[in-house]
Structure 1
Amino acid sequence: MKSICVYCGANFNGDPLLSKAVEDLAAAFADQQIRLIYGGGSLGVMGMIADGVLKKKGLVTGVIPQFLLDLEVGNMEVTELIITENMHQRKQKMADLADGFIILPGGFGTLEEFFEVLTWLQLGLHRKAIGVLNVNGFYDHLFAQLDVMVEQRMLKADHRKLVIDSDQPGVLLRKMKAFTTVPDPLWPKDRDLI
């Protein structure tokens, strides 16, 4: 993986464990020469991951719609800043540039982006690994809901396994790299899309 898209919040809750996890992830990106693709913002966890990678002399591509740039929340220090017309173009560009996805703690937007690329993987529209950095149990309840969906037969167990998770950045990256080397397609030609 030469580039990973990170979805995360424009807020930061002050959790020192999250701060340390972001710092460790940024260092891993720089050490492994993985380009960070992210939403182009300067605030919250989003700003923290970008600044962390840049401090370690890594490469950062921000993708931000013009209306957010106009609100002065764009990070002008990144290696490359791509400006889009709208949110849809932003999400598509970020996904196109990435070899994988990592989800950090965030809000509505983070979850929306996570479920979009996860659905695309479920449908076979891409074969990119999706990892959740579950810092301090932030996503425990979400994972429990996914398990309920399997128990209630609204989600196939094989599809539940598409979500890779760890609370350690290094472990998460190793799991994601193993996923991307799977040689066989995830789905047979007559796959059930449910």
Structure 2
Amino acid sequence: MESAPGVWEIVQAGAAELLAPGRYRLTRLLRGQRGTEGAMGNPAPAGARIVFLDTALASLPIAEADLGIPWNWRIGPASRPVSDETYVAQAFTPAGVGLRPFSVAHVEQPWRKPRTPGDLTIRWTRRSRALAADNWGGLEVPLAEELEAYEVEILDGATVKRVLSVNTASAVYTAAQQTADWGAPLGPGDTLDIRIYQLSALVGRGAPKSVTLTF
């Protein structure tokens, strides 16, 4: 479902009721599937485009080396030559959105490390595109990336004050860093806006997770 121009959300329905030819009522919805929860904040307008995902769907033959390179497509019936008037020209630049890591989940309120007054530790839970991640019996989902790496942006409104780079699902925001950013370590009653990305060696930053932490 296209919730905004070029912004697509994958939605599953537990039931589809036929109301009229080509018209259905979908209920028991599961929204934001396969990492598309970022599109849920955009209400789909009336008449929004919907693509039914079934076995007819096929991946385009695009190599990893072609990501970010503009393509000019001609789309039409396979039974006719590409010069036929039924073909439509379409410019397309593959971005590899289906390869980028999902946003992280379950960001915990920060806690202060013992023996290091003022340091804050921020923790989260990794998500994974691997099909084995749907196994509810596992303690942790597979990595599905060459290396585990994250970037945590410390935000002041729209301004990025600092980026913490880590290779585990936690980051330490030291008292010295807090003082450099805000004039003093954060304390009770303060809030902190952060944005977390898991990194991919192929496509860079994954989908962001934005959170406001309260102390």
TM beyond 0.5? no
TM-score (norm 2): 0.25
The structure with the larger Rg is: 2
TM-score (norm 1): 0.27
The structure whose residues are more often helix, as a share, is: 1
Larger RCO (CA under 8 A, 6+ residues apart)? 1
The structure whose residues are more often strand, as a share, is: 2
